[in-house]
Amino acid sequence: MKKGILLVLLLCTCAVKAQSEQEVQNEIDQAVWKPFQAAFENLDAEALNAIYAEEVLRVTPNGIDTKGNFREANVARFNKNKEAGLSIALDFWFDSRKTNVDTSYEVGFYRIGFTDKEGTTDFVYGQFHIVLKKRDGQWHIVQDWDTTAINGKVIGKKDFDKKMPLQFKEI
């Protein structure tokens, strides 16, 4: 009888933990990922940059940025895209998310569609590893690593199509 009660308590504890992790991830989706996608698609570098913490470790195939140079690069890139008349669609999904009340490590794949004035769309695919921290009640990206190749193999449509892109629920 005691073993049965302990098992029920253990299962309830696990269910509550899983639910709270999902609730935190839903909070992150609304506070970070939904605005991230909107900023990217609206070519709004100021809104995109605001999602990042003051100090960020940003790693790309171009190297390591600990000085926040990526912020100016976001502004320049988005201005260039606006001038070229490009529209952007950003889609992504998570392969793995490990979350507690104030930290989340998230791995996923993205697809960025660049559509020109003639309606031709070119796609770029990649993988990201993001660390988020909740500070003063706000979630921010503190580490951002992404790449367009894994083990020398370029990430493409076939890799991205393994899962459906994330769709945000309205809250």
Percentage of the chain surpassing pLDDT 90?
Answer: 82
- Domain 2-160: which CATH class? alpha beta
The pLDDT tens digits for 39-74 are 999 999 999 999 999 999 999 888 999 999 999 999
78: closest CA among 49, 118, 108, 120?
49
Q: Write b or e for each residue in 67-83: b if 16 or more Cβ atoms lie within 10 A of its Cβ, otherwise e.
A: eeebbeebeeebeeeee
pTM of the model: 0.85
What element of type H or E holds 14? helix 2-28
